[in-house]
């Protein structure tokens, strides 16, 4: 569960990213220079990656920590498996 502070932070960032994407759409509609468009796409991707890192950090500090404190071996293994899957997804970018 994403805490309130993290939620506000990520929502603000996502709204900014939404604006970036709208800007990219406008650039394409206006026939702007391809390299400029790609540069803006890369910036938006980087911003999304930053949001993912914030959400993942929140997950580690809340859900994963709670699982390890509970000492429930099944829950702990589930969290480790989740993290390895997410790590693989982030690495494959």
Tell me what pLDDT residue 87 has: 86
Domain range for 19 is 4-91
Number of domains in the chain: 1
Tell me what pLDDT residue 65 has: 93
Q: Taking the C-alpha atoms of 19, 16, 89 and 93 in order, what is their torsion angle to the nearest 10 degrees?
A: 60
Tell me what pLDDT residue 9 has: 95
pLDDT tens for 41-90 read 999 999 999 999 999 999 999 999 999 999 899 999 999 999 999 988 87
CA distance 42 to 9: 21
CATH number at 75 reads 1.20.58.1000
How far from the centroid of its chain's Cα atoms is residue 23's Cα? 20
């Amino acid at each position: 569960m994403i805490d309130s502070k993290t939620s506000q932070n990520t929502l603000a960032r996502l709204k900014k990213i939404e604006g970036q994407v709208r800007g990219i759409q406008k650039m394409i509609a206006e026939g702007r220079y391809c390299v400029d468009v790609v540069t803006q796409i890369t910036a938006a991707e980087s911003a999304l990656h930053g949001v993912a890192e914030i959400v993942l950090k929140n997950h580690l500090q809340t859900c994963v920590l709670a699982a390890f404190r509970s000492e429930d071996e099944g829950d702990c293994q589930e969290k480790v498996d989740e993290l390895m899957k997410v790590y693989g997804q982030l690495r494959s970018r």
